[in-house]
Amino acid sequence: MSLVGKKAPIFDAPAVVNGTEIVDSFSLEQFIGKKEVMFFFYPKDFTYVCPTEILAFQEKLAEFEKRGVAVVGASTDTQEVHLAWLTTPKNKGGIEGVTYPLVADVAKTIAYNYGVLSGDWSYSEENELTYEGAGVAFRGTFFIDKEGIVRHETINDLPLGRNIDEMIRIVDAWHHVQEYGEVCPANWEEGKDAMKPDPEGVASYLATH
């Protein structure tokens, strides 16, 4: 089920912050009332598509920050593996230079609560609890407002990388809605016309586009 319009699931887990420091207790609650959050999951450290996304988020980090948005990543790897990857140079398959937090969802409960865990538990014919599936997170992305409400989510299958510019467009659209009370039509981008959320506004927009 979608989390859009609902409170983002709460968690407290280890993470690596600033690319070099392990903290035992990290929570998105620290941003409530202060910042919006772009919270994303990726399948696994030391893989192939994942570093391209993580580094792409880092390249656009200043764009998120100037919009008052914190970027936070998460996977089911341990904090120690996160740290090893974060301190490995790019030319050796690492993501050195990434400064935003990476959460360690070792118990896989965060991914499960956000609905992005690939696979599920079931019972065998011998009545033994087993897990079917990869057991890693799909590429889920959640835009969470300052009140802790999820305003946007997308979930990609494991081989499908994200478009980070689209995540920035979502932030811009939400800010436009909040500031002007207008709604954003298809393919809206910052600087383009939006529309009033009433029949006359829609008719006027459609007549001129």
> Annotated active-site positions, please?
50
Per-residue three-class SS string for the chain: CCCCCCECCCCCEEEEECCCEEEEEECHHHHCCCCEEEEEECCCCCCCHHHHHHHHHHHCHHHHHHCCEEEEEEECCCHHHHHHHHCCCHHHCCCCCCCCCEEECCCCHHHHHCCCECCEEEECCCCCEEEECCCCECEEEEEECCCCEEEEEEEECCCCCCCHHHHHHHHHHHHHHHHHCCECCCCCCCCCCCECCCHHHHHHHHHHC
